[in-house]
Structure 1
Amino acid sequence: MKQISKYLAIAASAILWTGQLSAQDFEPFNRTVKVNDYMEPAIPHPDQMKEAQAKLQALEKKTGKKPNILWVVVDDMGYGDPGSYGGGAALGAPTPHMDALARGGLRLTSCYSQQTCTPTRSAILTGRLPVRTGLTRPILAGDHLTKNPWEDEISLPTLLGEAGYQTLLVGKWHVGEAVGMRPHDVGFDEYYGFYPAQKEVTQRLDARRYPDLVLNEDRLRAFEAIGPDDHLQHGFKGGKTEKVMQIKTTDDMGRVDQVLTDFTVKRIKEMAKSDKPFFLEHCFMKVHCDNFDNPDYPGLSPAKYQYRNAIAEVDMHLGTIMKTLEEEGLLENTMVFFTSDNGPQMDAWPDAGYTPFRGAKGTTWEGGVRIPGIAYWKDMIKPERESDGLFDLMDLYGTALKVAGVSTDKLPNDRYYDFVDQTSFLLADEGESNREMVYFWWGNQFMSLRMKEYKAHVKVIIPTSTHMYIDMSTIQNVGLAPWLFNLYVDPKEELTMGHRRNAWLATVLGEAKKHEMTFKKFPPKNVGL
């Protein structure tokens, strides 16, 4: 990160201060307060925190137990795919259930993920940036890790389990399938799903797309020797792991999200009868390429293309899950968060989603990391709210702890935590975000940060062909000065304002320097990725 210091010096030289102002006269540009040196500072909002705490206390008094927590994560869905984010019927795939969820709660317009699957999925369960945990990219066939990155992490399901929660993950995992790295090894009581992404399973079955693999017996045998598991797994903490079903055809994969939804519905009905609250993370296999129609719902969307059919099917299953919560009388006591793990994988186009922003999955442009985020909680989150306040999916970690009544004092102080507790942002009727900055990394390279409406890049990913943001892209330093965009003026990040029209360049880069210092005090892990 030496380039940050260089850019900071250049930017500072261009700032001319005229006059003396008292610090007490104005709100500081960086409004955060640092409580300790191992946790991300946050913007204090004491009044909205009191309001949120009062709501939580009243609800617990009414129900007699802590709230349930449900996360619904779609794989590779673009910001512009749901109707409530500009897609839906306009793109040939209406999303009535996603849109109803948005109308009934808080629609976030600046919600951020990591730039690809594994980093996001690990970050939301550890509350830490992937560059700190070592889980910087998907674990692929043939990878050999030098250590288990989970062995010294404090996972969210571990903490919630200790607090009396039933913890369950259904669907895609993609954060390691070796013993010690599976969901039921890292804190979940139960796991029902697939370790890899759809494509990693079906490429061994699809001769039209991968003829040099499927139709070559020697290569297919070699692939099977190192390839990811192609079975639906059912595992239990400290107990057995059973292979329930093998994916033998693309039709099998097309039906998988129905199978997973049926299981989630079944378990919600069972857990509704328990005195214990639950934490359930439902992770769809769709809409990650390669998408195959569920043969029981062929051509489900008006567009008829496989990706759009997949969006329509995910929306249908979301409706089923929400209806189950309602029928079981759980809506008032369940915090629901609906999102995607990153932007659309445009390299698979047309089997890919839509974003109105520059870039896509695999990049730290807005199109790769800005995703839908909907928070819904009947009678707890005010309906029809919309906010451009910053929200990082890592914030789900701290928010879940607060909702469950688990103190962050339980977290060890020998590592840095990047989450911000956003409970008051979500629950206060006029709540504002408690986060001031979002930091973006690609592997172990710092790329950019967003602060307020500003986005500063010190490295960028440039595609050399249409849609090829992974397969034909290069990482480049930006040159003499960082590329600074005002996202309210230029949401597509097309022309940097830099020194011409922005006075905050040095200030924004100063925050990057502070971020860099946390790595000097708390060095990142290297697990061999």
Structure 2
Amino acid sequence: MKKTIFIIGALYIFCACPYILSAQKFDRSVKTIENFEGSIPNPEQDQEVSKKLSELEKKTGKKPNIVWLIVDDMGYGDPGCYGGGAAIGAATPNMDRFAAEGLKLTSCYSQQTCTSTRSAIRTGRLPVRTGLIRPILAGDILTQNPWDTETSIATLLGKAGYYTLLTGKWHIGEAVGMRPHDVGYDEFMGYYPAQKEISQGVDPRRYPDLVLNPERMADFEGIRPDDHLQHGFKGGKTEKVSQVKSIEDMGRADQVLTDFTISRIQELAQSDQPFFIDHNFMKVHADNHDNPDYPGLSAAKYAYKNAVAEVDMHIGNIVKALDEAGVLENTFIFITSDNGPQMDSWPDGGYTPFRGAKGTTFEGGVRIPGIAYWKGMITPGRQSDDIFDLMDLFGTNLRLAGISTDLLPKNNYYDFIDQSSFLFLEDGKTNREAVYFWWGKELMAIRMKEYKQHIKVIIPQDTHMWIDYSTVQDVGLAPWMFNLYIDPKEEMPVGHRRSAWLATLGAKLKTHAATFKKYPPKQIGL
């Protein structure tokens, strides 16, 4: 109770100062629908993108295809186009090429962990609103199915005539009623958990006290997540295709999944029906195991680096399949990661130039690569530091499919922004003013323009230990305010010394927190 009172009090103190008078000009966002996040009005930009999309539809005769390529736990600094690549032992020629031929976002944000991001981009809502704040684990007793009151992007696209396929990692529930094909996808081919949760049962080098102990293995069988490749259909059967019985099986998983996605592209491209392919790589989430068909694929030869190189190869082959199927010019592709690198598993972890890592709301945990590629629609060579939240993919998909937000429940609050004009126009500007960061049920921080303000922080107790050995702390007398343009590593707060906007960001946070009064967060038992 004392911590809650302190945070509210701190926000009140800083919101009450005279600087608040400038907030109206500084904050360009306008709320036009009560239960939707406000956006920056760009009417001319909006009209221009409507015309551009309409002309494309007249040319092709159907809505555009949509392909998401989501890497698991890839750091901001892993791809070459973001400063990594060959320079850190794992070249990424395909991601680099698509960034050069499309739009590279340098302020693209996720949630701080896997399940949180994966739920947010498919519901258009912050995880704290849906209750999907972390993985649903063995032993968890849920008070309700969180999906019962959610409308997924797959459901909406399906109603608009799209064929919807999710390939790869899901991680948002494996019980009946929570699987991809239960919540709107026409088809699912993949795994419910992360690869570490699967491979730990067959990896005696990393987990000898489990795998080499028969009694513990017997106990583990009662709680282990499903270790099968699943193939399921909406309203139809779910088949267990194969089981991961070795680390070699796990190492080959992404090749199997990529082959399946490519085969479905070849089939779906022959139809008049547009498609949405939501492809989620198992790599580069720890524990990474080499694909035995591509041993030592990277220059570094370490398992994580080999995984980065392999994922890049698969991305190139998926895009190549779209091109060979003749649908590349009518397909919007977005390449990203679900959060920052998991440094607790180092050296089986990625690279970020920023402070923090997966599990934190410092930049290292939430700023990730974001590459928008659409041949003929996105001007090659674009780069922008305007703010983009991965939840905005939800709104952009709605725009591409011509779906009205009127179809969304009125009793839910929505956090996404339609960013189609930002992504698809040569001089497009962001329609989002701020990104809010949560850690579970704790409101942590906000980014607005180049400023980042924390009211709670996660502090590691040892090098790299941002999850297993860290603490959540209140910030103290004042919010920690950073100017990311002069201090991208968030090392020196400038709130009272070099910023006139401390109170303005505080007011924005307070307004955001107020949305939870009328639209309370869902309690599902996590």
Residue 66 (structure 2) pairs with residue 66 (structure 1): no
**Which residue does the alignment assign to 1:317?**
314
Could you tell me whether the CA contact under 8 Å between 2:15 and 2:507 is conserved in 1? no
**Which residue does the alignment assign to 1:5?**
8
Task: Specify which of 345, 348, 351 is matched with residue 351 of structure 1.
Answer: 348
User: Which residue type is aligned with residue 527 of structure 1?
Assistant: I
User: Which residue type is aligned with residue 379 of structure 1?
Assistant: G
Question: Unaligned stretches of 5+ in structure 1?
Answer: none
**Which residue does the alignment assign to 1:286?**
283
TM-score (norm 2): 0.98
Cα drift, residue 219 of structure 1 = 1.2
Cα pair distance change 1:243/1:99, threshold 3 Å: same
**Which residue does the alignment assign to 2:215?**
218
- Mapped to 2, the partners of 1:527 and 1:27 lie a distance apart of 37
Could you tell me whether the CA contact under 8 Å between 1:4 and 1:513 is conserved in 2? no
- Mapped to 2, the partners of 1:15 and 1:368 lie a distance apart of 33
User: Which residue type is aligned with residue 56 of structure 2?
Assistant: L
Moved more, 435-444 or 218-227: 218-227
Task: Specify which of 514, 520, 525 is matched with residue 523 of structure 1.
Answer: 520
Could you tell me whether the CA contact under 8 Å between 2:19 and 2:500 is conserved in 1? no
Q: How does 1:72-151 map to 2 (within 5 A)?
A: 72-151=69-148
Cα drift, residue 16 of structure 1 = 6.6
Cα pair distance change 1:282/1:509, threshold 3 Å: same
Task: Specify which of 268, 273, 288 is matched with residue 270 of structure 2.
Answer: 273
Could you tell me whether the CA contact under 8 Å between 1:14 and 1:499 is conserved in 2? no
Q: 1:4-32, CA deviations, whole angstroms, 9 ceiling, x for partnerless residues?
A: 43223433566579xxx9x9xx9810001
Residue 194 (structure 2) pairs with residue 191 (structure 1): no
Cα drift, residue 141 of structure 1 = 2.8
Cα pair distance change 1:3/1:404, threshold 3 Å: farther
CA RMSD of aligned residues (A): 1.3
TM-score (norm 1): 0.97
Counterpart secondary structure, 2:406: helix
Cα drift, residue 49 of structure 1 = 1.1
User: Which residue type is aligned with residue 313 of structure 2?
Assistant: M
**Which residue does the alignment assign to 1:437?**
434
Task: Specify which of 408, 415, 418 is matched with residue 418 of structure 1.
Answer: 415
User: Which residue type is aligned with residue 443 of structure 1?
Assistant: G
Counterpart secondary structure, 2:164: strand
Could you tell me whether the CA contact under 8 Å between 1:459 and 1:476 is conserved in 2? yes
**Which residue does the alignment assign to 1:42?**
39
**Which residue does the alignment assign to 2:158?**
161
Identity of aligned residues (%): 68
Moved more, 41-50 or 236-245: 41-50
Residue 475 (structure 2) pairs with residue 478 (structure 1): yes
Cα drift, residue 170 of structure 1 = 0.3
**Which residue does the alignment assign to 2:52?**
55
Q: How does 1:198-237 map to 2 (within 5 A)?
A: 198-237=195-234
Residue 243 (structure 2) pairs with residue 240 (structure 1): no
Residue 415 (structure 2) pairs with residue 405 (structure 1): no
User: Which residue type is aligned with residue 112 of structure 2?
Assistant: Q
**Which residue does the alignment assign to 1:260?**
257
Residue 502 (structure 2) pairs with residue 505 (structure 1): yes
Counterpart secondary structure, 2:147: coil
Q: 1:188-235, CA deviations, whole angstroms, 9 ceiling, x for partnerless residues?
A: 000000000010001011111111111111211111111100000000
**Which residue does the alignment assign to 1:170?**
167
Residue 457 (structure 2) pairs with residue 457 (structure 1): no
User: Which residue type is aligned with residue 215 of structure 1?
Assistant: L
Q: How many residues align?
A: 523
